[in-house]
Amino acid sequence: MNGALTDNTFSPKQALAPTPELYNELASGGADKVAMASLACTAPIPAGSVVHDNGCGTGFSSAAILASLADGVKPGDIAIKATDMSDDALTAYRMAAEKRAADWPSTAWETQQMDASNLTFADETFTHSFMSLVIFVLSNNGVDAMKHVYRTLKPGGTAIVNYWSDLPNLPALRAAAEATRPSGTPRILDMMGDWFGPDKLRKTMEEAGFSPEKVSVQEVDIPIKLPDNSIDRFAFMLWSFLGGSTSAGWLRSDEERWDEAVGIVADKLRASKGYKKLEDGTEHLAFKAAITVATK
């Protein structure tokens, strides 16, 4: 989930509350697809593995982990330790696990509130450490968090980390902000910095202690079907969830110009190179993820 970037508590009356449920709808299966694509880049998880779901969110990564076990391995044959800073996310994780108890047995997982940049696990705890769509919002370019990942992995253990390396929604959000906000207003998602393309992720892993020859990075296309087959619904959620993600937060004028901003987001998304409307009427956007697999 997104951390607060400002002390400003104002929110436009139109904005949807940024709940874990909204996050799942906004992700439109993209988070699940990134997790599965990432796990496909490494060997299936064997029995006896101890896996850290680092920044677990609502549980999409753990679900993918349990779907990526080696042949003959059952969910109860591994252990997942899921951590997140958000208590709401952990609650949603537990609810998701309980609803899918047959595939997600209580013996296979446990949750704990924890900062990814300050893990309290002992050295050499995990055989696998998985972090999905989190690293770009962490302090110090994620280096501190990756040092903890390296520390807590067993020798020969595997770290799997990913982030969006191409986001068609970011130019759309920034275009809406530039058109509806005063000049000089801080940019949306400025903390993304240079987290685009695969190079930043490789550098971060190496700075954290992983040997260059043991780090592989690749980019994978992730097509996403939009919720309710509607770019307009997606744009409304996108602006609700990320429109205030600046050091200034939401402006009072955002409430007055809400419809204009959402309309611009929708128009820019439709004009993006990754947008497609299929014959059945469904609308899709093309995202790209950078995935690294590093061995300690």
Summarised one tens digit per residue, pLDDT across range 49-70 is 999 999 999 899 999 999 999 9
For the domain bounded by 20-167+187-225+287-295, which CATH number is listed? 3.40.50.150
199-207 helix and 143-152 helix, angle to the nearest 10 degrees: 60
Question: Which pLDDT value is given to residue 16?
Answer: 94
Label residue 1 by pLDDT band (50, 70, 90).
very low
Hey, is 72 helix, strand or coil? Answer: coil
pLDDT for residue 287 is more than 80: yes
Q: How much of the chain, in percent, has pLDDT values that exceed 70?
A: 95
**For the chain, what are the domain ranges?**
20-167+187-225+287-295
pLDDT in tens, 181-202: 999 999 998 766 667 778 888 9
257 burial class (0-12, 13-18, 19+ CB within 10 angstroms)?
middle
pLDDT in tens, 250-265: 999 999 999 999 999 9
User: How far is C-alpha 232 from the geometric centre of its chain's CA atoms?
Assistant: 22
**Alpha-carbon Rg of the chain, whole angstroms?**
19
Mean pLDDT, to the nearest integer, of 7-30? 82
Closest CA to 134 of 50, 245, 55: 55
Question: Which pLDDT value is given to residue 3?
Answer: 43
Question: Which pLDDT value is given to residue 5?
Answer: 56
